[in-house]
Structure 1
Amino acid sequence: MELDLGAVRAFLAVVDDGHFTEAADRLGVSQQAVSKRIARLESDLDVALLTRSRTGAVPTEDGSAFLPHARALIGLADQATALLRARHRPLRIDVLARVAAPLDVVRAFYEAGGVDVDIVVSRGATPRHVALADGSVDVAFGRATGELPGIRRVPACLEPIPILVSRRHRLARRRSVPMAELAGVTAWMPGCGGESEWADYYRRLGAEFGVTIDTSGPVFGGEHVMDEIAASPELITFGTTRQFPAHPDVVQVAVTGPTPVYPWSLLWHEANRHPAIGPLVAHVQARYRPFDPRTQWLPDRALFSGSRRSGSRPAPPTGS
């Protein structure tokens, strides 16, 4: 005998709702269809599963005995369906921001072909380890510090960070400036306070090289920041022209000796079995260029030093 899962679902719906009409609404079918499914299930099992009355329906003794097995059966069927759907849905990738290096990595991966992706821009609204653990996203980019239970990671890329200055600033005509020359300068970065990963990065950068990181003032958007930088012969901000709206009186200057680089990692939860995670990890590892302590600076060196695969665990399997 083979049980009809549709009939088992109808039985559970009636038990949970107490009425055939409400069960039919939940299942999106007619009341007559629910009655026929349950009658067929009772016939297959050769027992009465429900006691019907004007006030509703309740399980019989046999129905109560069958109930936990029915729930387990439907639960397994739903899990199997969800697993197969997950294997064929797009890979959900949190790039943190659309104006950062991870988006270029993901674009190259997508253009290589064969994998659909769904871009998520969280801007850190939800902690990555939480989003990865609950399946809101499959993989995420960010500056990963410390150990997170169940989270695996590999170094992804090191993004050089220049400065933006007014055309009236003394550094405006320079193609590059040594980091040591920025000692004593104030970098205005509104909204970069608090406990975010980038706020910590710039606090450590400022402490290392004697740069004052000024996070004061409300955040009115990129245009406001550019207007203020353009109007000041002294202020600078760390960032690229890609991150901010174009301004005719603001120029970008590279920082050297060393160049500060933002350390992006690729993270995923070890329990996530999406088949595209393995290919993405392999793509990231193939593109990664290791940290060079002679020319670059970053606060998190352990994961990013050495070979391309330094600090990483083997890529996850692409199967289930």
Structure 2
Amino acid sequence: MDAEALRTFVTVAETGQFQAAADALGVSQQAVSKRIAALERHLGVMLLVRTSRGSRPSPDGQVFLPHAKKVLAVVEQAEQAVRPGSRPLRVDVLNRRISPAQAVHRFYRSHPEMELDVVTLSTENAAQAAQAVLEGTVDASFRALSADQVPAGISVERLMDAPLELLVGPGHPLADAPHVGPAELAGHRIWIPGIMPGTEWAAFYRTLSEAFGLSIDALGPDFGPEALMDTLAESDSLATLVGRGDRYLWPQAHDLRRIPLRDPTPVYPHVLLFRSGDQHPVLTALRDYLRTAGPRTPQDVWAPEWVETA
């Protein structure tokens, strides 16, 4: 059933005039007449009685009128539910400890009136996350996506480069270094448990290893960041890599050291994925915020060439 025809019938019934209804709806009187005639043919009844003084609902029209109003109210609710800005922006941050989650949190603290729904998708890789954005499961996602994985209908913007830092215990040979070059890590064991084959972060660390001759492995079970911190604190040879904006906490007695990598600075490129043409006002505000208030990218950046940037 045509919602515009229903709206036209209700307007005529309330105004009592075809011309008044036409004026209210912004259409011609002829268009009003055609809509009413089509609705009456569809229902097989006469809905309006025409008189010299205007139009009024017929007995069937009087019965139909409250139902038509209810249908229009439901249609309005459905339209409102998906109108830009009428619902929270649903953002996938991949992991609540890493820099995208922290940046979105800072955005929310500076814009508390903005409605956000922050999630971590259970998708295995960036391509699946892009598909989730395309299908509307989420409105946006932070991923490191290669150009050949960007589906039609998805736009990307590289808004956050997270510089990597070496995280070591106090007994590690590099524990007191003010900064370290990535090539200096050759020969040191870098342990990053939980790297899943086929994911964008697995591809990132593989490319990083090949570029600087590093030994990065994910051997053994992943018992979570707390267990990793405990292991680092006890080891004089083990190290891991974290993003500068990542939030990890450990007991003060662990005395772990975060050491910047420089010359060049490897960055994990968090690219924002969103549906092309999406006009959600919170998405627009988030993108503007990250462009202006996001972390500054170092000058000597290294990132994989395969990452899509725009």
**Structure 2 partner of 1:200:** 203
Confirm or deny that 1:298 pairs with 2:300.
no
2:263 corresponds to which of 257, 260, 264: 257
2:77 corresponds to which of 65, 78, 81: 81
Confirm or deny that 1:180 pairs with 2:183.
yes
Instruction: Decide which structure has greater helix share.
Output: 2
What do you get for the CA RMSD once the two structures are aligned? 3.3
1:162 Cα offset (Å): 0.5
Q: How many residues align?
A: 242
Q: Distance in 1 between matches of 2:186 and 2:163?
A: 19
- Counterpart of 2:207 in 1: which secondary structure? helix
Q: Deviations over 1:152-203 (max 9, x none)?
A: 0111111111011121111111221122211122111111141111111111
Q: Deviations over 1:12-68 (max 9, x none)?
A: xxxxxxxxxxxxxxxxxxxxxxxxxxxxx99x9465xxxxxxxxxxxxxxxxxxxxx
Superposition map of 1:1-320 within 5 A: 3=6, 45=43, 81-86=77-82, 87=84, 88-113=86-111, 114-122=113-121, 124-125=123-124, 127-146=128-147, 147-239=150-242, 242-247=246-251, 248-249=253-254, 250-270=256-276, 272-287=278-293, 295-300=300-305, 304=309, 311=310
Q: Distance in 1 between matches of 2:43 and 2:217?
A: 74
Gapped runs of 5+ residues in structure 2? 8-38, 46-70
- Counterpart of 1:152 in 2: which secondary structure? strand
Give the direction of change, closer, same or farther, for the CA distance of 1:119–1:302 in structure 2 (3 Å limit): closer
Give the direction of change, closer, same or farther, for the CA distance of 1:282–1:223 in structure 2 (3 Å limit): closer
Gapped runs of 5+ residues in structure 1? 5-40, 48-73, 305-310, 312-320
- Amino acid of the residue matched to residue 238 of structure 1? L
Give the direction of change, closer, same or farther, for the CA distance of 1:79–1:93 in structure 2 (3 Å limit): farther
Would the aligned equivalents of 1:258 and 1:296 in 2 still touch at CA under 8 Å? yes
Q: Distance in 1 between matches of 2:89 and 2:229?
A: 35
Would the aligned equivalents of 2:99 and 2:247 in 1 still touch at CA under 8 Å? no
Q: Distance in 2 between matches of 1:185 and 1:79?
A: 63
Give the direction of change, closer, same or farther, for the CA distance of 1:203–1:125 in structure 2 (3 Å limit): closer
Pick 1 or 2: higher relative contact order, CA cutoff 8 A, min separation 6: 2
Would the aligned equivalents of 1:159 and 1:264 in 2 still touch at CA under 8 Å? yes
Q: Distance in 1 between matches of 2:6 and 2:186?
A: 76
Would the aligned equivalents of 2:146 and 2:307 in 1 still touch at CA under 8 Å? no
**Structure 1 partner of 2:27:** none
Would the aligned equivalents of 1:206 and 1:212 in 2 still touch at CA under 8 Å? yes
Give the direction of change, closer, same or farther, for the CA distance of 1:164–1:79 in structure 2 (3 Å limit): farther
1:244 Cα offset (Å): 3.7
Give the direction of change, closer, same or farther, for the CA distance of 1:286–1:240 in structure 2 (3 Å limit): closer
Would the aligned equivalents of 1:91 and 1:117 in 2 still touch at CA under 8 Å? yes
Give the direction of change, closer, same or farther, for the CA distance of 1:234–1:302 in structure 2 (3 Å limit): closer
1:279 Cα offset (Å): 2.6
- TM norm structure 1: 0.66
Give the direction of change, closer, same or farther, for the CA distance of 1:217–1:240 in structure 2 (3 Å limit): same
- TM norm structure 2: 0.68
